[in-house]
Amino acid sequence: MTLGVDVGGTFTDLAWWDGLHLHIGKTSSTPDQSEGVVDGALELADGHSIEALLHGTTVATNALLERKGARTALVATEGFADVVEIGRQDRPSLYDSFADRPTPLVKPSDRFGVVERSSLDAAANLAPANLDEVARALATARPDAVAVSLLFGFSNPEHEKLARDAIVAALPDVPVSISSEVVGELREFERTSTTILNAYLTPVMASYLRRLVERASGVGLPPEILVMRSSGGLMDIGAAGRLPAAVLLSGPAGGVVASAALGEALGYGRLISFDMGGTSTDVCRIEGGRPEVSYERAIDGYPCRLPSVAVHTVGAGGGSIGWVDPGGALRVGPHSAGANPGPASYDRGGFEAAVTDANLVLGRIGPDVRLAGSVPLRTDLAHGALSRLGTKVDLEHHQAALGMVEVVEAHMTRAIRAVSVEQGADPRDAALVAFGGAGGLHATALARNLEMAGVVIPPFAGVFSAFGLLLSPPRHDAARSVLLRSGERLDQLVGSLASDAEKAYRLETGRRPDRLRLVVDVRYLGQAHETSVDYEVGEGWEALGDRFHASHHERNGFARPDDPIEVVTLRAEAVGSPAMAWSDLPPFRPEGDAYRGTRTLFSSEGSVEASVWWRAGLAPDREVAGPAIIEEGEATTYLGTGERAIVSESGALEVSW
């Protein structure tokens, strides 16, 4: 009796597994996400008990994007407190002189230096000299959160722990994040940035999770809630409150996990997940049943060294607003109408045309459709919004709608190229798994533009990320930088980290992990970047080197097997069992009449008559040829001329052309 709830910018998606059947639902997101989570859970459960609640949230992401985190102070080694301002030498956009780095989350006046001498050698350390003075200065400044990142904290955390003790004594109610516990890795700028992110988000995330627990407990829902990690696993709600930087990509991760499970069930070796919701589109490459995981990425310009599924996000969704720039060009997004007021057709006060309005005007969304089963759409308001937009670019409303679709699809095509072509992977070998409320409306156009192998529209496409929470295991991630140039201590250090990860997992869950995955970051001596490769204790230095050379060649197009290598960071993933597996789903059985008649659609070729189908009534092996519309309660799929969809045994639609 497990419920997965994924909150997006426009809708909150729910998937409830009772051990035999999957029940799904969708509701509008609320300003305080906990309200929508609890209200949606009660509505879907309909009086039945819920034993476990799994949650994907965008609270941390939104707080960062909107700069609504806590006022944060930084304590760093004296002389290094301004590293957050100095950053790296690289530029956000090489040829755009107006592109700036984001403003640091810690103001210069809130940066404090600790006098210390530290190095990789613990014996050379001298205790910090002015901790009490720094603690008193912090007590006077009264920040809402404190980040501590000392120069060699990744190797010798004792000084950071001393600093935390002094700060907590002076500011007992202020949360303190120390880099050695947030991200135990070298590179002081990235480590400091990640620690600041964690401190900046801790009060916001902790407050939200407290409200969620209180609301859930007040209506009989379980207070034991697991939160989705960015890396594709679940963590205890208490741990999520202490480590909010680990859930910055909590929302999209569930859909990536579900896509990997579907691909494995259908026998696809290479996939790209494509999640188009109301506010944004998230894409991620999946190979061999395993999502691409990144250990270094920037979120809204701020480096974050915690592991996350390698999702690339663009501001292109059903709520993305069409507008005209000063040069007279039609643009779409990244601004979104959200859930309120929403697109013009929602009749909630929205005035500007959104992508949903364009699809409604073109006939891809039916005039009688209720989004999420509860939001009626007004075609007349959509026509009015597109007419106003079209007047600005001298287009009638159908042409303006087609223009919006073409522009938003160009944005999403670039996003898919970013996780494939730009990373050395050929998209022509991959299938596109399209989900989210709007994913099926645009998937085939994107896949054909990139000459991809096909499109898969999964069952429960409109709530696929929530369903992915049920397929996600509890997980704990650990990392430690070591800087090894030989294999003498490799197995000892890997074994120690694996033991620490297992202990932390047991502390969070009360159980032993089902499996431990070990990853080693390796580079050629003198390189400035690493390649992550799998490793097992006992394999040895030579086997590790061979695997690194092969992986380096695959990713970068060359290898230097005669050059010495260096192990930089060790990583461990302790993973448990999910609430359910894809194979637990009952066989798909069609319900009701599939054929719903025809509807006039508008395309670049003019108006065409398209067949309309109800997805739940399509039996396995049934083929639907385009032009066609396939509707379901939470999503819609559009098939153009020459495209055909076949229903698989799982209920997924496999589209080819």
| Residue 242 neighbours by CB under 8 Å, 6+ apart | 175, 202, 206
Position 643 in a domain: yes
Residue 232: burial class (beta carbons within 10 Å; 0-12, 13-18, 19+): buried
In a domain, 36, yes or no: yes
Domain end (from 201, 236, 255): 201
Please tell me whether residues 502 and 553 are part of one structural domain.
Answer: yes
Q: Are residues 398 and 546 in the same domain?
A: no
| CATH number of the structural domain spanning residue 534 | 3.30.1490
Q: Does residue 310 lie within any of the structural domains?
A: no
Reported as a pLDDT band with limits 50, 70 and 90, residue 242 is very high
Does 186 share its domain with 134? yes
In a domain, 630, yes or no: yes
Question: What total number of domains does the chain contain?
Answer: 5
> pLDDT class for 195, splitting at 50, 70, 90?
very high
Which pLDDT score, from 0 to 100, does residue 256 have? 94
- pLDDT tens sequence across 60-110: 988 898 899 999 999 999 999 999 999 888 877 778 888 888 899 999 999
pLDDT value of residue 337: 85
Q: Is the pTM of this model over 0.85?
A: yes
Do 87 and 124 share a domain, yes or no? yes
Residues 61 and 77 in one domain: no
Measured in residues, the chain has a length of 657
Computed over every residue of the chain, the mean pLDDT equals 91
The pLDDT score that the predictor gives to residue 252 is 87
Of residues 143 and 373, the one with the higher pLDDT is 143
DSSP string for residues in 400-421: HHHHHHHHHHHHHHHHHHHTTG
Residue 408 above 90 pLDDT?
Answer: yes
- 118 and 153 belong to one structural domain: yes
Q: Kindly state the tokens that stand for 486.
A: 């030989």
Q: For 587-648, give the DSSP string.
A: PP---S--EEEEEEEEETTEEEEEEEEEGGGPPTT-EEESSEEEE-SS-EEEE-TT-EEEE-
What is the number of alpha carbons within 13 Å of residue 376 lying toward its C-beta? 4
In a domain, 357, yes or no: yes
400 shares a domain with 382:
yes
Residues 380 and 493 grouped into a single domain: no
269 in a structural domain = no
Q: Pick the last residue of a domain from 132, 167, 201.
A: 201
Task: Grade residue 51 by pLDDT with cuts at 50, 70 and 90.
Answer: confident
Are both 119 and 172 inside the same structural domain? yes
- The confidence score (pLDDT) of residue 125 equals 64
pLDDT digits (tens, 9 = 90+) for 527-581: 989 999 999 999 999 999 999 999 999 888 899 999 999 999 999 999 999 999 9
pLDDT one-digit tens code per residue, 248-259 = 988 889 999 999
DSSP state of 264: H
389/373 same-domain check? yes
* Sheet strands (E) in 18-84: 22-28, 52-56, 72-77
Interatomic CA distance for residues 546 and 491, integer angstroms: 17
Looking at the domain assignment, is residue 632 inside a domain? yes
pLDDT at position 372 is: 64
Same domain, 77 and 121: yes
Q: For residues 268 and 287, give the distance between their C-alpha atoms in angstroms, rounded to a whole number.
A: 9
Domain extent at residue 27:
2-65+205-247
Q: β-strands 270-276, 281-287: how paired?
A: antiparallel
Lowest mean pLDDT among 142-146, 157-161, 205-209, 311-315: 311-315
What is the amino acid identity at position 278? G
Q: Does 105 share its domain with 197?
A: yes
Query: What is the per-residue pLDDT across 595-615, written as a single tens digit (0 to 9) for each?
Result: 999 999 998 888 999 999 999
Residue 51 belongs to domain with CATH number: 3.30.420.40
Residue 85 lies in a domain: yes
What is the rounded average pLDDT of the residues 422-447?
A: 92
What distance in Å separates the CA atoms of residue 630 and residue 304, rounded to the nearest whole number?
Answer: 40
24 Cβ contact list (under 8 Å, min separation 6): 13, 14, 15, 16, 44, 460, 462, 463, 466, 467, 633, 634
